[in-house]
Structure 1
Amino acid sequence: MIAEFGHFSLIIALCLAVLLTVIPLWGAWRHNSAAMALAPGLSMGLLVFSGISFACLATAFLQDDFSVEVVANNSNSLLPMWYKFSAVWGNHEGSLLLWILILAFWTAAVATFSVQLPLLVLARVLSVMGFVAVGFLSFSLFTSNPFARLLPGTPADGRDLNPLLQDPGLIIHPPLLYMGYVGFSVAFAFAIAALLGGRLDASWARWSRPWTNVAWAFLTLGIMLGSWWAYYELGWGGWWFWDPVENASFMPWLAGTALLHSLAVTEKRGLFKSWTVLLAIFAFSLSLLGTFLVRSGVLTSVHAFATDPERGLFILVFLGLVVGGSLVLYALRAPAVNSRVTFSWLSRETLLLVNNVVFLVATLTVLFGTLFPLLMDALGQGKYSVGPPYFNAVFVPLMALLIPFMGIGPVSRWKRDSATRWKAELLLPGLAALACGLTLPLLHADYNLWVALALVLAGWLFMGMLRDVWQRLRSAPSLWRGLRRTPASYWGMVMGHLGFAACVIGVVATSQYSIERDLKMEPGQSESLAGYRFEFIEVQGVQGPNYVADEARFVVSREGVEVARLAPQKRRYLASGSIMTEAAIDDGLFRDLYVAMGEPVGEQGAWAIRLHYKPMVRWMWLGAIFMALGGFATVVDKRYRRQRSLARETLNTGAARGAQA
């Protein structure tokens, strides 16, 4: 009965989503306040029934109800309880239900925390989000029912969850990623609402900017966790492979980063209004494209859900409807928008425009590299592979081009600035960054030009931000008052840029200085790597909750002093018989020591062993965390609440004047 109750709740959620799409939008068209006022209540109902449906599916997993097809295919009675719960979204049907729940959560959050918005605007925004919910709920109910039964013929036990997904990373990574993916639907809904109302002024940017920052921050954390998960779980020692499904989450992040900066210009100066709307449509469209790539069966990947073509066709049609309809509406409304605000070529507006162009080119570069093999295969032109060499060759120079502008942008003035002032502000940071780039690589045995360049660029960004912070605080009567007077959005920008600098250093350092060695080792042997000595002690059998494993024991020392004990494993899962590698890592701020087991070699107890030395690899993930924290910090800025109230008063005043006229 639990499965049927969950299915019924999902049907009710679809009905509520249809009502949320139609009634408030009709009310906005007819200026019917009663119809528009139903939008928040319908949004909460959508969240409640989506939550009930998700809870029912989770209960089926936790109770080992193998009469439910998705439970039988993705769980097992031996699976630990926490993995049974995370197995809810470790498959196509369950992850789609999680997507729907998070979309309902975002919709209800907008309804709850946007009470200061004009009712007309709020009704349109929630109707657009309701329309998106209708698409995904229909997708779930008609092609991907998570509550389908295996009756008769219920198996005695399940097939088990994919061993790659039996990891704490699965518990956190997909929900965070979906919070970012789906969160861009809010910016999309505000953009479409602005187009429907024919008012592409700065007010919609003020309303949507905090939501966009939160979605971008969640997506940043999700991508970071995915990179970290691949690093320690797959056993290959890498952190990014430019996999098409990795790109599917990275492209919305790139477009969302451009959107964040464009929203800042639209809010502050009333510029780039049409362009900002287009970026909002583009960012959410890329989220939908990622959904299609993962769920259509066109990709074979660790991250992808291989599904039947019917599902892929459904999401492709929905993608075409959303993107096509949005672009048609944009083509009808956007040309009427004229901006009378001017700015010089030496100004913050110009630098943010360069930022947008670079991020858009980077997004299109990744999009082309991801879709090109699929298009050529679909056209019958053969199998093509676009891998890391292409992406690194075109993406890395774009980021290197971006960083100098990132250093100048925060200290620049709106509307008009001068090269003389830039020189006065940034000469010392530039010289300090150049000194770091010339001297710090000398600490390593091999002077690396790429590391030197990365240190110059990251140092330029880091020193410039610190100087700007110092200048702001120095002008205040006291340090404490200076900290209190500085808006949270400024600190968010500082954290985001410093985090980006840390990512650059981590990426380049680990790419250039990493050492990897594949060896055949027997117990009692030792090998040296990057000044560390890895001694292979023994191999022992261990028993896990649903697996058995061969566990190697290593003692790592440096100059005769023990620094770590590592125990990598080769696991065999009992239900499926799958063989998995579990790497062992001694982590640190400046280096990781990484050991992974391969297969047994010969009859003397020898094993294939992979040793890694990874310098500063943690800086990438710490930098990403700083960027995400910067995104969250902007939301607590009090000025957004004041601006929303002011915008509401302005809009209501304008509407009253229009009625009198």
Structure 2
Amino acid sequence: MIEAGHFALVLALALALVQSTVPIVGSRINDARMMAVAAPVALVSFALIALAFLALTWAYVTSDFSVVNVWENSHSQKPMLFKITGTWGNHEGSMLLWVLILALFSALVAVFGRNLPDQLKATVLAVQGWIAAAFLLFILVTSNPFARLVPAPFEGQDLNPILQDVGLAVHPPLLYLGYVGFSVSFSFAVAALIEKRIDAAWARWVRPWTLAAWIFLTGGIAMGSYWAYYELGWGGFWFWDPVENASFMPWLSGTALLHSALVMEKRSALKIWTVLLAILTFSLSLLGTFLVRSGVLTSVHAFATDPTRGVFILGILTLLVGGALALFAWRAHALTAGGIFQPISREGSLVLNNLFLTTATATVLIGTLYPLLMEALTGDKISVGAPFFNLTFGSLMVPLLIAVPFGPLLAWKRGDLYAAAQRLAWALGGAILVALLIMLFVDRTMLFAALSIGLAAWLMLGAATDLVLRSGVGSQPWSVVRRRLWGLPRSAKGTALAHFGLGVTVVGIVATVAFQTERIVIMKPGDTIDFAGRQLRFERVEPFAGPNYTEDQARFTLISGNRDVGTLVAAKRLYTARQMPTTEAGILTRGFSQAYVALGDPSGDGSWVVRAWWKPMVTLIWLGPCLMMAGGLLSISDRRLRVGAPARRRSQPVPAAAE
């Protein structure tokens, strides 16, 4: 089975080379048979890579320690779920998953791209073949997941304990579906430059793929944030870790690409900018792959520390990104700017959106890479921490959030800002009221927090305003309102839901950061502390043995008034194979808020260091991305996006007139 998986990868590399050359040559010489090779080769390549991935998964399931990758990252006593997820919980396996998802997207383009012009489809799949060939070669040369170990050990070394979590079953696949999904946008951009075909139809073809990648990346980032929050025992949801930034940058750029493609589709404008964004977004995904795999970063998220692999990926990055940008520079002079519009218009608002998002991306990029460049040039180690990112990124997001509700209310080409402001008057009034209520009833000293939550309310109420006005709420009978609301385009409803979800996330972040309560105390079983207007009672400590670990479980009871609200179980866990300790947080959710307890080290007298937080509205941080994903799914279900651009009609011969 292992050799079959290895051989399948070799065959997939051979087919990727065919896919990367034959179709594009066919498109150049207009040979239909050569272009037709692309789709079946993409499908067979996907089947071969899927076979290789299943072979590696089977090795993990059966604890085949004759495979080096399995021996280094698995253990016979590990639960079955973590045996399976351990397949991609390491460098080699995760890169195989990366290539599998790349092949999946190529296969989807082959299946669902029937309405694409033959030349464009062949070129897109050829570009996908270039990427696949590069990374398959990388895997086979530097990161072979099927390398054998002779003689085979009786037991494995176990997976990194912090990766033995159900979050690992969700976070990496979602993240890679987002990362790699942008490869389709990249391939469309390169193919359009090669074919010199960049128009509104091109934007219609690109937008569903970009939206699908954005949905997955949103979920992957949110799941990673929640995983770090509950698994690492630190009580934080975002640390501006360089690897966190590596996934956040393509999300920001991809969001800008979505809005730019909309302008191009509707108004045939921003052509040059949209193509450049498609190239840069996937380039940032490749940069993220390089940062995680090269060993230049030290992070809980980083897998590889082999510089040889980093040099190889840097070479791939240089060839793919450098080649795409060189092609863009070569073709840019031949591209037309497209439709003309006034600054005050829906196009203008989307351009402003792009300006802030791309500037924010550049800010995060500079803050992430600057310490690495300084260390490489001077040898001095410096750090760029949360204060820099919070100040610069937050300063850019405030005006962006203020501007977002105006966009859907402005007309295309020429808008009326005063009329849009009038329609948003009730949303502004609601936002001011929310800020005042926070000041009066929560904390009068938290002016900035109140204004920030008011800004989030402005965003949410503004998102609802467009639907309210278009459905006729207040001016039409409810039967008409319901019919109009149901009949609105799904993309419009999806946009409003995504913007509303962004506001929900802002509420969660601000409320958690500004109003959370933290206590660090030394407690013994039976002790009670005051805790955010409640009491936290330390009940007892019990030993517990898991399948491949032992732990001390500390039970706490949260008391509000004279009533027990619930129980929290925090633990200090030791994984026996690696002798590696972890902290398992105890979390109790009440409404949108959570009590969070992390157990520290014990002392000789039976006491423990306990860190306890009350985090108001913290679950909104992850509920917001769920709403954004739902909005994206609603938009992508819009028939106009599912159908795509109409296929060109072939001219039919005119029958000769009867004589």
Query: Residues 420-446 of structure 1, C-alpha deviation per residue, up to 9 Å, x if partnerless?
Result: 312321122112211211223322144
Q: Answer yes or no: is the 8 Å Cα contact 1:20–1:43 preserved in 2.
A: yes
Partner residue of 2:498?
A: 496
> Within 2, Cα distance between the matches of 1:184 and 1:340?
24
Partner residue of 2:54?
A: 55
* Residues 340 and 130 of structure 1, relative CA distance in 2, 3 Å threshold: closer
Partner residue of 1:451?
A: 449
Quick check: 1:622 aligned with 2:614?
no
> Within 1, Cα distance between the matches of 2:299 and 2:571?
23
Quote the offset at 1:562 in angstroms: 0.5
Alignment-mate amino acid for residue 351 of structure 1: S
Partner residue of 1:546?
A: 548
Partner residue of 2:14?
A: 15
Query: Residues 108-148 of structure 1, C-alpha deviation per residue, up to 9 Å, x if partnerless?
Result: 01111111111111111111111110111011001100000
Secondary structure of the structure 2 residue equivalent to 1:644 = coil
> Within 2, Cα distance between the matches of 1:217 and 1:382?
39
> Within 1, Cα distance between the matches of 2:80 and 2:577?
16
Partner residue of 2:221?
A: 223
Partner residue of 1:195?
A: 193
> Within 2, Cα distance between the matches of 1:641 and 1:521?
59
> Within 2, Cα distance between the matches of 1:464 and 1:154?
63
Quote the offset at 1:642 in angstroms: 4.9
Secondary structure of the structure 1 residue equivalent to 2:323 = helix
Alignment-mate amino acid for residue 249 of structure 1: S
Once the two structures are superposed, the pairs formed by residues 371-410 of structure 1 within 5 Å of their partners are: 371-410=369-408
Secondary structure of the structure 2 residue equivalent to 1:14 = helix
TM-score, normalised relative to structure 2? 0.96
* Residues 570 and 641 of structure 1, relative CA distance in 2, 3 Å threshold: closer
- Where does the alignment leave 5 or more consecutive residues of structure 1 unmatched? 654-661
Q: Answer yes or no: is the 8 Å Cα contact 1:589–1:619 preserved in 2.
A: no
Quote the offset at 1:643 in angstroms: 4.7
> Within 1, Cα distance between the matches of 2:313 and 2:242?
18
Q: Answer yes or no: is the 8 Å Cα contact 2:464–2:500 preserved in 1.
A: no
Once the two structures are superposed, the pairs formed by residues 501-512 of structure 1 within 5 Å of their partners are: 501-512=503-514
Alignment-mate amino acid for residue 217 of structure 2: L
Q: Answer yes or no: is the 8 Å Cα contact 2:438–2:444 preserved in 1.
A: no
Partner residue of 1:638?
A: 639
Q: Answer yes or no: is the 8 Å Cα contact 2:199–2:271 preserved in 1.
A: yes
> Within 2, Cα distance between the matches of 1:174 and 1:469?
35
Query: Residues 456-488 of structure 1, C-alpha deviation per residue, up to 9 Å, x if partnerless?
Result: 211212222222111111188723431332111
> Within 2, Cα distance between the matches of 1:447 and 1:120?
63
Alignment-mate amino acid for residue 612 of structure 2: L
Once the two structures are superposed, the pairs formed by residues 160-199 of structure 1 within 5 Å of their partners are: 160-199=158-197
TM-score, normalised relative to structure 1? 0.96
Quote the offset at 1:359 in angstroms: 0.4
Query: Residues 605-636 of structure 1, C-alpha deviation per residue, up to 9 Å, x if partnerless?
Result: 10111101101111110001111111122211
Q: How many residues align?
A: 647
Quote the offset at 1:518 in angstroms: 1.2
> Within 1, Cα distance between the matches of 2:434 and 2:588?
28
Partner residue of 1:354?
A: 352
Quote the offset at 1:553 in angstroms: 1.1
Partner residue of 1:466?
A: 464
Quick check: 1:41 aligned with 2:46?
no
Partner residue of 1:657?
A: none
Q: Answer yes or no: is the 8 Å Cα contact 1:497–1:627 preserved in 2.
A: yes
Partner residue of 2:99?
A: 100
> Within 2, Cα distance between the matches of 1:409 and 1:423?
11
Alignment-mate amino acid for residue 637 of structure 1: D
* Residues 340 and 54 of structure 1, relative CA distance in 2, 3 Å threshold: closer
Partner residue of 1:659?
A: none
Secondary structure of the structure 2 residue equivalent to 1:146 = coil
Comparing 467-476 and 79-88, the one that deviates more: 467-476
Comparing 620-629 and 420-429, the one that deviates more: 420-429
Q: Answer yes or no: is the 8 Å Cα contact 2:9–2:136 preserved in 1.
A: yes
> Within 2, Cα distance between the matches of 1:270 and 1:643?
16
Q: Answer yes or no: is the 8 Å Cα contact 1:300–1:306 preserved in 2.
A: no
Alignment-mate amino acid for residue 269 of structure 1: R
> Within 2, Cα distance between the matches of 1:592 and 1:441?
22
Query: Residues 239-268 of structure 1, C-alpha deviation per residue, up to 9 Å, x if partnerless?
Result: 000000111100000100100100000000
Query: Residues 377-430 of structure 1, C-alpha deviation per residue, up to 9 Å, x if partnerless?
Result: 111340011111110010111111101110111111110112331232112211
- Where does the alignment leave 5 or more consecutive residues of structure 2 unmatched? 652-659
Partner residue of 2:73?
A: 74
> Within 1, Cα distance between the matches of 2:128 and 2:60?
29
Over the matched positions of the two proteins, sequence identity in percent amounts to 49
* Residues 340 and 356 of structure 1, relative CA distance in 2, 3 Å threshold: closer
> Within 2, Cα distance between the matches of 1:641 and 1:612?
46
Deviating beyond 4 angstroms after TM superposition, the runs of 4 or more aligned structure 1 residues are none
Once the two structures are superposed, the pairs formed by residues 105-504 of structure 1 within 5 Å of their partners are: 105-151=104-150, 153-474=151-472, 478-504=480-506
Q: Answer yes or no: is the 8 Å Cα contact 1:299–1:306 preserved in 2.
A: no
Secondary structure of the structure 1 residue equivalent to 2:422 = helix
Partner residue of 2:524?
A: 522
> Within 2, Cα distance between the matches of 1:592 and 1:553?
16
> Within 2, Cα distance between the matches of 1:642 and 1:419?
34
> Within 1, Cα distance between the matches of 2:590 and 2:357?
32
Q: Answer yes or no: is the 8 Å Cα contact 2:467–2:485 preserved in 1.
A: no
Q: Answer yes or no: is the 8 Å Cα contact 2:471–2:484 preserved in 1.
A: yes
> Within 1, Cα distance between the matches of 2:193 and 2:289?
25
Comparing 43-52 and 197-206, the one that deviates more: 197-206
Secondary structure of the structure 2 residue equivalent to 1:599 = strand
Partner residue of 2:613?
A: 612
Secondary structure of the structure 2 residue equivalent to 1:649 = coil
Q: Answer yes or no: is the 8 Å Cα contact 2:435–2:451 preserved in 1.
A: yes
Alignment-mate amino acid for residue 167 of structure 1: D
> Within 2, Cα distance between the matches of 1:138 and 1:530?
56
* Residues 643 and 176 of structure 1, relative CA distance in 2, 3 Å threshold: closer
Partner residue of 2:654?
A: none
Q: Answer yes or no: is the 8 Å Cα contact 2:453–2:510 preserved in 1.
A: no
Partner residue of 1:656?
A: none
Alignment-mate amino acid for residue 255 of structure 1: S
Q: Answer yes or no: is the 8 Å Cα contact 1:450–1:508 preserved in 2.
A: no
> Within 1, Cα distance between the matches of 2:229 and 2:199?
45
Q: Answer yes or no: is the 8 Å Cα contact 2:2–2:146 preserved in 1.
A: yes
> Within 2, Cα distance between the matches of 1:443 and 1:554?
30
Q: Answer yes or no: is the 8 Å Cα contact 1:54–1:97 preserved in 2.
A: yes
Q: Answer yes or no: is the 8 Å Cα contact 1:183–1:211 preserved in 2.
A: yes
Quick check: 1:574 aligned with 2:572?
no
Quote the offset at 1:590 in angstroms: 3.0
Quote the offset at 1:72 in angstroms: 0.4
Alignment-mate amino acid for residue 343 of structure 1: F
Provide the aligned C-alpha RMSD in A: 1.3
> Within 2, Cα distance between the matches of 1:533 and 1:519?
13
> Within 2, Cα distance between the matches of 1:109 and 1:59?
25
> Within 2, Cα distance between the matches of 1:435 and 1:483?
27
Secondary structure of the structure 2 residue equivalent to 1:594 = strand
